[in-house]
Chain A
Amino acid sequence: MLKIENLHVEVDGKPILKGIDLEVGVGQVHALMGPNGSGKSTLSYVLAGRDGYDVTKGRVLYKGKDLLEMAPELRAAEGLFLGFQYPVAIPGVSNIYFLKAALNAIRAHRGEEPLDAIDFMKLSKEKAALVELPDELTKRAVNDGFSGGEKKRNEIFQMAILEPSLAVLDETDSGLDIDALKVVAKGVNAMRSPERSMLVITHYQRLLDHIVPDVVHVLIDGRIVRSGDKDLAKQLEEKGYSEVRDAPQL
């Protein structure tokens, strides 16, 4: 699904990612963990195609195609979804209007007919229930005046509607209390499927108690220093990043 090879990225001339290699297979869930400033969010933005991130070396293949050549909207249309760490508010544009426009843009790319308002409402109701997003929130302006937890649930709601092939979830757990975390995790788990891959970016192990990954990677200072199974996350929680980094690879 996703193959990152020796990826180097600079922001304002400053190297942030210093040679990332990462492969996420179809249907797999990978977790990317790391301390603040290690380059986790940079990686997610590079994958989604945000301006201001200069790829100086390496390449990224997505479904066998050169991902870095594609415009952000094309990546989205090809099934790449980024769950934002800080979802952006768009005042005056209702959540469902926004999502319907997005879904139909993606459907148009696939050569499918647009969904009409009635079918979309049905879909929206079904998916909102998945993340326990109140009906009222689906009608409010996109993320406008949403609490931190509501924004994160809204991201998962959007993912559920858009049904991506690869979901990159950037600190979906930050700012959530334990109940909200469970709801979000439940939504993500419901989306797991043999056709869908996920890259879950997080600081903390606690999210991974609920979303159990196939593979865990530790990113420190722009490099993946360790990879392992879900137990690696537990070690991190107990020992901290520095000790894991310095410990010999098993």
Chain B
Amino acid sequence: MSASTEQIDDILEKKYDAGFVTDIEEEYAPPGLSEDIVAFISNKKQEPEWLLEWRLKAYRRWLEMKEPTWAKVSYPKIDYQEMCYYAAPKTNEDAPKSLDEVDPELLATYEKLGIPLHEREILAGVAVDAVFDSVSVATTFRDKLAEVGVIFMPFSEAVKEHPELIRKYLGSVVPVSDNFFSALNSAVFSDGSVVYVPKGVRCPMELSTYFRINAANTGQFERTLIVADEGSYVSYLEGCTAPMRDENQLHAAVVELVAHKDAQIKYSTVQNWYPGDENGKGGIFNFVTKRGLCEGARSKISWTQVETGSAITWKYPSCILRGDDSIGEFYSVALSNHRQQADTGTKMIHLGKNTRSTIISKGISAGHGHQTYRGGVKISRGATNARNYTQCDSLLIGDKCAAHTVPYVDVRNSSSKLEHEATTSRIGEDQLFYCRQRGLSEEDAVSLIVNGFAKQVLKELPMEFAVEAQKLLGVSLEGAVG
């Protein structure tokens, strides 16, 4: 331990020697990744030493790891030394002063999604302080949560205010060296959210990253940690439902959930990062590690995701069902249009007795889109009477897209019951014609049929999210037919 502390001291000193002090005043770290940069980020966030050490350990592990190649996605090689790993949120001076300065195409999309005006301003990065009182919204919200003892704050604040919580749980579900991208995230994560729901508390509102204004500009490596203590309940929504105008950019997030005895966590995502243009230029590379631990008996973790954005999606929200009678659920709609590629699914790891898992995956491919469902169900020796139900359906639109299904099953206990159902269908000319004969335009017809296909998953989303997700599916499919 002392050796590594010394090392860190060395680094810190070295950093200062190298004249980083002036750089700290800058908004960006220089491109490239090194121990210096990791230390720079940690320093910038005024983190305690243990966390810097944790990051450095992750960085060193990452150096030894190889980028995974098993997923069915292809993309140009990422040069990790060309990227910037720290960029402070844009200052208000750089931001557009009003919606008049924002790309009209972007605004047209917001319009179609029915996003309220003030929300559009936030999404487009307009300096909002003058426009509406985000601070008071955030504050009222926080007071209400504090009354029942719920902690909900940015990661960097939680590190300062609740270090014991972070130390206990950080990396407990997704170990630093779990995979290449989680190791990278552990080394350089910028910010994220921390939620703690105390024993027996039912969180009085849906927690959403939208309400926390400071999340609007969080970086590409965010980290989320949610802990639900015994008998508690929390529903968490993440994602902005508006496209981000970015060049090919790496987004490698890590989400860890811990549900103690009798606790429930419901985690909903609507992901609509910029998917690139019709020819596959630009777009986000979305490599995300999400995992929940059903630690206690009768705990339950439910993932719901609607993935319509990103050029590349690599994402497998999973559940480790350790507690007896615990339940894991995964509901997913993933859509790939144009040149988008998605390789997504889940892992359900049954360790406890009478554990149950449900997987409902709906993949939609259009244009030249590629879609892979990759799922793993593992029933370990001790998981007596475990049950799994898997359903994965693919919908094809047009004749240049593709759908693949890769289910892995590993069963080591003969008392378990597993079911797997899979279908592949095409939006039929007959369905489209039927809808049009009743007066619907072709685009509305596609949107209607796709939403019907995805309904089983959409109904798992909180109401207002479901409405946005529905519209989003329609907007994302524009130009997919005809």
A complexed with B? yes
How far, in whole Å, are A88 and B431 apart by their CA atoms in the complex? Answer: 6
B435 and A90 contacting across the interface, CB-CB below 8 Å:
yes
Given known A-B contacts A91-B453, A109-B439, A98 and B448 have beta carbons under 8 A apart: yes
Interface status of A133 (Cβ within 8 A of chain B) = no
A141 and B438 contacting across the interface, CB-CB below 8 Å:
no
The interface residues of chain B lying within 8 Å CB-to-CB of A169 are none
A 72-116 contacts with B by CB, 8 A: 72-73, 75-77, 81-82, 84, 87-88, 90-93, 98-99, 101-103, 105-106, 109
B 433-457 contacts with A by CB, 8 A: 433-442, 444, 448-449, 451-456
Q: Report the minimal beta-carbon distance from B372 to chain A, rounded to whole angstroms.
A: 22
A162 and B439 contacting across the interface, CB-CB below 8 Å:
yes
B437 and A48 contacting across the interface, CB-CB below 8 Å:
yes
Given known A-B contacts A73-B441, A76-B438, A92 and B433 have beta carbons under 8 A apart: no
B453 and A88 contacting across the interface, CB-CB below 8 Å:
no
A 41-97 contacts with B by CB, 8 A: 48-51, 71-73, 75-77, 81-82, 84, 87-88, 90-93
How far, in whole Å, are A158 and B449 apart by their CA atoms in the complex? Answer: 18
Closest to A73 in B: B436
B 314-349 contacts with A by CB, 8 A: none
Contact with A along B414-430 (1 / 0, CB 8 A): 00000000000000111
Closest to B362 in A: A92
A90 and B452 contacting across the interface, CB-CB below 8 Å:
yes
On chain A, the number of residues with a Cβ less than 8 Å from chain B's Cβ atoms is 30
Q: Report the minimal beta-carbon distance from A232 to chain B, rounded to whole angstroms.
A: 29
Given known A-B contacts A102-B440, A105-B444, A72 and B433 have beta carbons under 8 A apart: yes
The interface residues of chain A lying within 8 Å CB-to-CB of B439 are 73, 76-77, 102-103, 105-106, 109, 162
On chain B, the number of residues with a Cβ less than 8 Å from chain A's Cβ atoms is 23
The interface residues of chain A lying within 8 Å CB-to-CB of B442 are 73
The interface residues of chain A lying within 8 Å CB-to-CB of B444 are 101, 105
How far, in whole Å, are A101 and B40 apart by their CA atoms in the complex? Answer: 56
A92 and B438 contacting across the interface, CB-CB below 8 Å:
no
The interface residues of chain B lying within 8 Å CB-to-CB of A81 are 437
The interface residues of chain B lying within 8 Å CB-to-CB of A99 are 438
How far, in whole Å, are A51 and B455 apart by their CA atoms in the complex? Answer: 29
Chain B interface, >50% SS class: helix
Given known A-B contacts A92-B453, A105-B444, A162 and B438 have beta carbons under 8 A apart: yes
Closest to B428 in A: A88
How far, in whole Å, are A82 and B433 apart by their CA atoms in the complex? Answer: 11
Given known A-B contacts A88-B434, A92-B454, A73 and B440 have beta carbons under 8 A apart: yes
How far, in whole Å, are A93 and B442 apart by their CA atoms in the complex? Answer: 16
Given known A-B contacts A51-B429, A51-B433, A93 and B451 have beta carbons under 8 A apart: yes
How far, in whole Å, are A72 and B429 apart by their CA atoms in the complex? Answer: 13
Closest to B450 in A: A92
A76 and B452 contacting across the interface, CB-CB below 8 Å:
no
A102 and B438 contacting across the interface, CB-CB below 8 Å:
yes
Q: Report the minimal beta-carbon distance from A60 to chain B, rounded to whole angstroms.
A: 16
Interface-centre pick from A49, A81, A90, A103 (highest chain B CB count, 10 A): A90
How far, in whole Å, are A103 and B444 apart by their CA atoms in the complex? Answer: 13
Given known A-B contacts A93-B452, A105-B444, A98 and B438 have beta carbons under 8 A apart: yes
The interface residues of chain B lying within 8 Å CB-to-CB of A82 are 437
Closest to B441 in A: A73
A72 and B451 contacting across the interface, CB-CB below 8 Å:
no
A90 and B454 contacting across the interface, CB-CB below 8 Å:
no
A76 and B448 contacting across the interface, CB-CB below 8 Å:
no
How far, in whole Å, are A109 and B439 apart by their CA atoms in the complex? Answer: 9
Interface-centre pick from A75, A81, A101 (highest chain B CB count, 10 A): A101
Q: Report the minimal beta-carbon distance from A74 to chain B, rounded to whole angstroms.
A: 9
Q: Choose from A72, A93, A162 the contact partner of B448 (Cβ within 8 Å).
A: A93
A76 and B434 contacting across the interface, CB-CB below 8 Å:
no
A87 and B434 contacting across the interface, CB-CB below 8 Å:
yes
A92 and B455 contacting across the interface, CB-CB below 8 Å:
yes
Closest to A102 in B: B438
How far, in whole Å, are A84 and B455 apart by their CA atoms in the complex? Answer: 25
The interface residues of chain A lying within 8 Å CB-to-CB of B455 are 92-93
Given known A-B contacts A92-B454, A92-B455, A93-B449, A101 and B440 have beta carbons under 8 A apart: yes
The interface residues of chain A lying within 8 Å CB-to-CB of B451 are 92-93
How far, in whole Å, are A81 and B438 apart by their CA atoms in the complex? Answer: 7
A72 and B437 contacting across the interface, CB-CB below 8 Å:
yes
Residues of A at the B interface (CB closer than 8 Å) are 48-51, 71-73, 75-77, 81-82, 84, 87-88, 90-93, 98-99, 101-103, 105-106, 109, 141, 158, 162
Question: Closest 10 A-B residue pairs measured CB to CB?
Answer: A92-B452, A93-B452, A92-B455, A102-B438, A76-B439, A72-B436, A88-B434, A105-B439, A106-B439, A73-B436
> Given A72-B433, A75-B437, A93-B451, list of 9 further CB < 8 A pairs?
A48-B437, A73-B436, A73-B437, A73-B441, A73-B442, A82-B437, A88-B428, A99-B438, A102-B440
Residues of B at the A interface (CB closer than 8 Å) are 428-431, 433-442, 444, 448-449, 451-456
Q: What are 5 sample pairs from A and B whose C-beta atoms fall under 8 A apart? A: A51-B433, A71-B436, A73-B437, A92-B456, A93-B455
